[in-house]
Amino acid sequence: DQQVKQNSPSLSVQEGRISILNCDYTNSMFDYFLWYKKYPAEGPTFLISISSIKDKNEDGRFTVFLNKSAKHLSLHIVPSQPGDSAVYFCAARSRSNFGNEKLTFGTGTRLTIIP
């Protein structure tokens, strides 16, 4: 049962254009959402996050939008740069029975920026 889904395994975008990565979730108990970026042979790097009580968070070229009614979030990167080429993971936070933070990850979207 995949609670966090990234339905596009890959995406190619021209340099300078907007990249939009999508993520859907099913668990309404998630209270925080995060985006991580991963280069080959490295661990995921935190990019941006959003609380479930907000609908938008912006940090430089990166903006995350949350639509709670649709259980959908998206990451916008504008303008896209070649260095943005990586795998992007969406993650959603919940609390375990022990009260610990638990992140549930999507399967990732490979973004390729075409020069």
Partner 1 sequence: GAVVSQHPSWVICKSGTSVKIECRSLDFQATTMFWYRQFPKQSLMLMATSNEGSKATYEQGVEKDKFLINHASLTLSTLTVTSAHPEDSSFYICSARTARPGWPQHFGDGTRLSIL
Nearer to partner 1, 104 or 112 (CB): 104
Nearer to partner 1, 98 or 115 (CB): 98
Q: Residue 72, exposed/middle/buried by CB under 10 A (0-12, 13-18, 19+)?
A: middle
Positions that interact with partner 1 (CB under 8 A): 2, 4, 34, 36, 41-46, 49, 89, 96, 98, 100-108
| 52, two tokens | 């479930």
Least distance between partner 1 and beta carbon 33 (Å): 11
Nearer to partner 1, 13 or 36 (CB): 36
Least distance between partner 1 and beta carbon 38 (Å): 9
Which residues make Cβ contacts (< 8 Å) with residue 56, sequence separation at least 6?
50, 63, 64, 65, 66
Least distance between partner 1 and beta carbon 52 (Å): 13
Q: Which residue, among 19, 28, 110, 94, has the nearest Cα to 61 in the 3D structure?
A: 19
